[in-house]
């Protein structure tokens, strides 16, 4: 029998397709073909990788932010063979969403550079698979409000938040329906503690970018690897949890767990703890988010089970707030509200880039965050433009502070 093939697969745009999350996403899609149609591929400057992906998946559009050392006209004609539209220029993510109508958007651009496109995806009421936590940190209030208006669904592809979503699955908002979210007292994110968990202040001073990007558990992009080393990543994730789960700041805890087998725990009102465990592989959170967006059961046989050897030694520690003050600082930013978390994030983005370029030392990263928070006072905001302008101002201020120091 000839069964007609279903030509209307859900369309998906991958913003940040050429990065680490992109890699893992495509690994999943190759393992489970015919689940989605890759309609848009968006990347920064890696045109050869974007081309290879376009050749493989034949999207309708490919959008890149910038390229260097290549003839643009030649590139355009090359891409036209493997996609309908090719765009090169700023706001590549936004342009992709203008050029093609999709059902699902994977937001996996690093940093505030992903904010405009993330916000557009939310405004359009899409299912948003969110890796780009920085967007939610900077504009959580606006994004959540907009999502409620547009009925956009935001599903995190951060391992800890995915774990919490899985732990909260099936709980109702209605306090009279059981199980209800009201039974949940605390959300507990685990943190590997990064490569310098056991370093002294003295040793931290001399840390190099090469050491910082070499994360002991996760293979990730350079920026998030440095964020893990400073524990700024966990600070961003506390803000991410605050907005995603609409939780109280005091109900979000962090537990250092170097093996990264426990991704998160929730504490219930009777004192029970529930945890989500699994391999340290981002295909877990990505496949869970995609299955939810598609309204289908979980994908089978995705994750390798942790071995008995891996489970034998599991350690948990409190965060050393003296050496790694980022989480504490972020909690007070969330308390202040308004633009404070954005100021934190923008200062960090500047500082991480400066650190990777060897312009500042490792410990200067948190110093830059402090400096910016002292200089810029938090205020309310009502648009993405305001936040992006503030971001530029902070970068300019810190650039001159670094030059003059």
Footprint on this chain of ligand NAD (rule: CB under 6 A): 16-22, 42-44, 46, 65, 92-93, 108-110, 113, 131-134, 158, 218, 220-221, 224, 282
| The one segment of 95-103, 141-149, 157-165, 176-184 that binds Mg ion by CB under 5 A | 157-165
Name the segment binding Mg ion (CB under 5 A); options: 72-80, 158-166, 251-259, 262-270: 158-166
Tell me whether residue 29 or residue 163 sits nearer to Mg ion (CB atom).
Answer: 163
| Contact range with Mg ion by CB under 5 A, out of 12-20, 34-42, 154-162, 281-289 | 154-162
Question: CA angle, corner 246, sides to 178 and 338, nearest 5?
Answer: 165
Task: Write down the least CB distance from residue 160 to Mg ion, Å.
Answer: 5
When the beta carbons of 158 and 349 are compared against Mg ion, the nearer one is 158
SS (H, E, C) the chain: CCCCCCCCCCEEEEECCCCHHHHHHHHHHHHCCCCCEEEEEEECCCHHHHHHHHHHHCCCEEEECCCCCCCHHHHHHHHHCCCCEEEECCCHHHHHHHHCCCCEEEECCCHHHHHHHHHHHHHCCCEEEECCHHHHHHHHHHHHHHHHHHCCEEEECCHHHHHHHHHHCCCECCCCCCCEHHHEEEEEEEECCCCCCCCCHHHHHCCCHHHHCCCCCCCCCHHHHHHHHHCHHHHHHHHHHHHHCCCCHHHEEEEECCCCCEEEEEEECCCCEEEEECCCCCHHHHHHHHHHHHCCCCCCCCCCCCCHHHHHCCCCECCCCCCCCHHHHHHHHHHHCCCHHHHHHHHHHHHHHHHHCCCCCCCHHHHHHHHHHHHCCCCCCCCHHHHHHHHHHHHHHHHHHHHHC
Q: How far is the CB of 240 from Mg ion (least distance, A)?
A: 8
Residue matched to tokens 């250092």 = 256
For the CB of residue 42, give the shortest distance to ligand NAD in the complex, in Å. Answer: 6
By C-beta, is 218 or 367 nearer to ligand NAD? 218
Cβ at position 232, least distance to ligand NAD in Å: 10
Q: What distance in Å separates the CA atoms of residue 173 and residue 5, rounded to the nearest whole number?
A: 39
Give the shortest CB-131-to-Mg ion separation in angstroms: 9
Spatial separation of the C-alpha atoms in residues 146 and 13, rounded to whole Å: 20
Task: Kindly state the smallest distance separating residue 39's Cβ from ligand NAD, in Å.
Answer: 16
Residue facing Mg ion at closest CB distance: 158
Q: How far apart are the first and last CA of the chain?
A: 75
Residues pairing with 13 in the sheet: 40, 105
- Smallest distance, Å, CB 241 to Mg ion? 10
The smaller minimum CB distance to ligand NAD, of residues 67 and 168, is found at 67
> 88 or 254, CB closer to Mg ion?
254
| Cβ-based nearer residue to ligand NAD, 205 or 333 | 333
Residue 218 contact partner, candidates Mg ion, ligand NAD, none, CB within 5 to 8 A by sort of partner: ligand NAD
Is 30 or 248 the residue whose CB approaches ligand NAD more closely?
30
User: Which option in ligand NAD, Mg ion, none does residue 360 bind, with CB closer than 5 to 8 A by kind?
Assistant: none
Site for Mg ion in 337-396 (CB under 5 A): none
- Decide which of ligand NAD, Mg ion, none touches 195; Cβ closer than 5 to 8 Å per partner kind: none
Least spacing, CB of residue 117 vs ligand NAD, in Å: 8
Comparing CB distances to Mg ion, the nearer of 159 and 346 is: 159
Dihedral-angle region of residue 36 (phi above 0 means left; psi in -120 to 50 means alpha; beta otherwise): beta
Cβ closer to Mg ion: 37 or 158?
Answer: 158
Q: Which stretch binds Mg ion (CB under 5 A): 10-18, 155-163, 367-375, 385-393?
A: 155-163
> Does 240 help bind Mg ion (rule: CB under 5 A)?
no
Least Å distance, CB 134 to ligand NAD, is 6
Contacting residue, 158, 165, 240, 349, with Mg ion by CB under 5 A: 158
Write down the least CB distance from residue 94 to ligand NAD, Å: 9
Complex with ligand NAD: residue 209 or 401, whichever CB lies closer = 209
Phi first, then psi, for residue 148 (nearest 5°) are -65, -40
Question: What is the binding site for Mg ion (CB under 5 A)?
Answer: 158-160
């Amino acid at each position: 029998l000839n069964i007609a093939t279903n030509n209307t697969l859900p369309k998906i745009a991958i913003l940040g397709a050429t990065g680490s999350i992109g890699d893992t996403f495509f690994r999943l899609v190759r393992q489970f073909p015919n689940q989605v149609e890759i309609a848009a591929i968006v990347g920064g400057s890696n045109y050869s990788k974007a081309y290879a992906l376009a050749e493989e998946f034949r999207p309708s559009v490919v959008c890149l932010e910038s390229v260097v050392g290549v003839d643009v006209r030649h590139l355009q004609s090359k891409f036209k063979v493997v996609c309908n539209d090719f765009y090169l220029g700023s706001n590549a993510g936004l342009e992709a969403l203008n050029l093609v109508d999709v059902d699902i958007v994977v937001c996996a651009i690093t940093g505030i550079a992903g904010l405009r496109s993330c916000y557009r995806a939310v405004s359009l009421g899409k299912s948003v698979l969110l890796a780009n936590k920085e967007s939610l940190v900077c504009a959580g209030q606006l994004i959540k409000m907009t999502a409620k208006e547009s009925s956009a669904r935001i599903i995190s592809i951060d391992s800890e938040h995915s774990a919490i979503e899985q732990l909260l699955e099936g709980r109702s908002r209605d306090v009279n329906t059981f199980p209800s979210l009201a039974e949940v007292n605390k959300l507990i994110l685990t943190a590997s503690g990064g490569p310098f968990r056991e370093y002294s202040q003295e040793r931290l001073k001399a840390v190099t970018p090469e050491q910082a990007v070499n994360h002991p558990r996760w293979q990730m992009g350079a920026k998030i690897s440095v964020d893990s080393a400073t524990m700024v990543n966990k600070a961003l994730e506390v803000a991410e949890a605050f907005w995603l789960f609409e939780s109280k700041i005091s109900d979000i805890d962090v537990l250092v767990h170097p093996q990264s087998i426990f991704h998160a725990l929730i504490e219930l009102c009777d004192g029970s703890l529930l945890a989500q465990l699994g391999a340290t592989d981002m295909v877990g959170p990505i496949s869970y988010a995609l299955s939810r967006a598609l309204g289908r059961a979980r994908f089978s046989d995705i994750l390798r089970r942790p071995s008995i050897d891996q489970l034998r030694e599991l350690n948990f520690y409190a965060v050393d707030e003296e050496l790694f003050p980022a989480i504490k600082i972020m909690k007070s930013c969330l308390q202040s509200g308004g633009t404070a978390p954005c100021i934190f994030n923008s200062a960090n983005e500047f500082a991480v880039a400066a650190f990777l370029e060897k312009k500042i030392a490792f410990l200067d990263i948190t110093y830059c965050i402090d400096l910016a928070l002292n200089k810029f006072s938090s205020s309310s905001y009502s648009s993405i433009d305001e936040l992006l302008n503030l971001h530029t101002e902070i970068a300019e201020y810190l650039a001159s502070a670094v030059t003059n120091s």
